[in-house]
Amino acid sequence: HLSSTLMTLDTLIMLSGAFVALVPFLGFPTSWDTALLLLAGIIIIGLGIVVRRKEGERKTQERMRGQEQ
């Protein structure tokens, strides 16, 4: 559940990075390149925030389990 969600988010981040790397070579007009890279950057930032929050939740759960024992 949580680990599979993180794996999916990792995959999305890698694909977004590949998209950013390929955009300049796709032949779009410069204004399109700018807009696509801006959108991809916003998506990558959002994914990074989600990954950090999920990782924080995982660490909190591990600490709680350690205190229960």
Residues 29, 38, 43, 10, CA torsion sign: positive
- Which of 48, 50, 26 shows the shortest CA–CA distance to 37? 26
pLDDT band at 69 (very low <50, low <70, confident <90, very high): low
Distance between CA atoms of residues 34 and 49, nearest Å:
23
Give me the residue label for tokens 């390149």: 33
Instruction: Encode pLDDT of 10-48 as tens digits.
Output: 888 899 999 999 999 999 999 999 999 999 999 999 998
- 3 state DSSP class of 23: helix
pLDDT band at 64 (very low <50, low <70, confident <90, very high): confident
- Give the pLDDT confidence score for residue 3 in this predicted structure: 64
